[in-house]
Amino acid sequence: MNDNVGATTTLARSVLGDISRGVSELLRYECEFGETEWTRGPVSNVVGLAQEKPSISDRQGERGRSQQLESVDRGDFQLLTPENVKKTPPVQRQDGRSSTQIEPIRTDLFRNVPRGLDGLNVIREELGDCRRCKLHSGRTNLVFGVGNPNAELMFVGEGPGADEDIQGIPFVGKAGQLLTRQIAAMGYVREDVYIANIVKCRPPNNRDPEHDERLACGPYVLGQIRAVSPKVIVALGRVATQALLETTAPIGTLRGKWFTHPHIPVQIMPTYHPAALLRADNLRRYVWEDLKQVMAYLGKPIPGR
């Protein structure tokens, strides 16, 4: 009897210890991102955070697993749960590509671009006063990219918003300020990393960039990746992730997992867009998990470990 009580007490202590470690990790993260607001929302039905590095061809298998995942898209915040996820099988296209793969962009334009600043200058010059797609007509400034031309870590977002359009610099609005805090929480400053977007001109009313716009801008972001040659790209949100990985799979399926870029040997970690976090703060903990994987990969110290 006494043995049973002792065993139960030990078990209870260990469970309480786990809970308290989890809570203090969360608190530490809140401090790291400079947030004081307590996060809400369930974590138990989210089973991401896979450690494996699936190749692009593995994605079919991930779709099944993804159906257990909660997914929030930046635009409409559609919540994918085991209950409401569509169970329809993938459509096989005539050309043999899966229905979650999208038309790839031209990859040859900057294949031999020089590394670093020289390469970025070549790409910027080539873009010039770009009118390759309809987005040019609404822009104030073309937003090329900013940061360390030789960064080991690169962030790729979707496209400029109003603040970025005015300043000509990516991620300077509210979402950008959160990104800056995330970068700091990872042990960097903005000048250490390189930041760019899938499209360089602001889509009207911040709508998603359309396919033709992504195709037009795609070679330039590819060139930027080649020039900077980062070890890791953090793909911010659904649009950036889908464009970089040439897929239509939902962000909730992809985030927290390592991928290799389809054309360049660089690791990609998809995560939720900072703008999504501003609207659904229960996502912050998942982003922190994803960023910690990146920190571990890059050998950065992880707070509390």
Residues found near ligand URA in the complex (CB under 6 A)? 157-161, 164, 170-171, 173, 175-176, 197, 275
Nearer to ligand URA, 101 or 197 (CB): 197
Q: How far apart are CA 63 and CA 60, in angstroms?
A: 5
- Report whether 208 contacts 158 (CB < 8 A): yes
Nearer to ligand URA, 66 or 197 (CB): 197
- What is the nearest approach in angstroms of ligand URA to the Cβ of residue 197? 5
CA dihedral 122→123→124→127, nearest 10 degrees, is: 120
- What is the nearest approach in angstroms of ligand URA to the Cβ of residue 132? 19
Nearer to ligand URA, 46 or 175 (CB): 175
Q: Which amino acid is at 41?
A: G
- What is the nearest approach in angstroms of ligand URA to the Cβ of residue 174? 9
- What is the nearest approach in angstroms of ligand URA to the Cβ of residue 166? 12
Nearer to ligand URA, 110 or 171 (CB): 171
Whole-angstrom CA distances from 94 to 2, 99, 243 are 70, 10, 21
- Report whether 272 contacts 178 (CB < 8 A): no
Nearer to ligand URA, 25 or 163 (CB): 163
Which two structure tokens, joined as six digits, stand for 29? 């993260």
Nearer to ligand URA, 53 or 174 (CB): 174
- What is the nearest approach in angstroms of ligand URA to the Cβ of residue 230? 17
- Closest-by-Cβ residue to ligand URA is 157
- What is the nearest approach in angstroms of ligand URA to the Cβ of residue 37? 21
Q: How far apart are CA 102 and CA 246, in angstroms?
A: 5
Nearer to ligand URA, 46 or 245 (CB): 245
Strand 267-271 and strand 232-236: the pairing is parallel
- What is the nearest approach in angstroms of ligand URA to the Cβ of residue 74? 8
Could you say which DSSP state residue 134 is in? G
What sign for the dihedral angle of Cα 263, 119, 242, 136? negative
- What is the nearest approach in angstroms of ligand URA to the Cβ of residue 244? 13
Q: Which of 191, 239, 190, 197 is nearest to 220 (CA)?
A: 197
- Report whether 259 contacts 267 (CB < 8 A): yes
Q: How far apart are CA 244 and CA 85, in angstroms?
A: 24
| Burial status of residue 297 (CB atoms within 10 A of its CB: 0-12, 13-18, 19 or more) | middle
Nearer to ligand URA, 48 or 209 (CB): 209
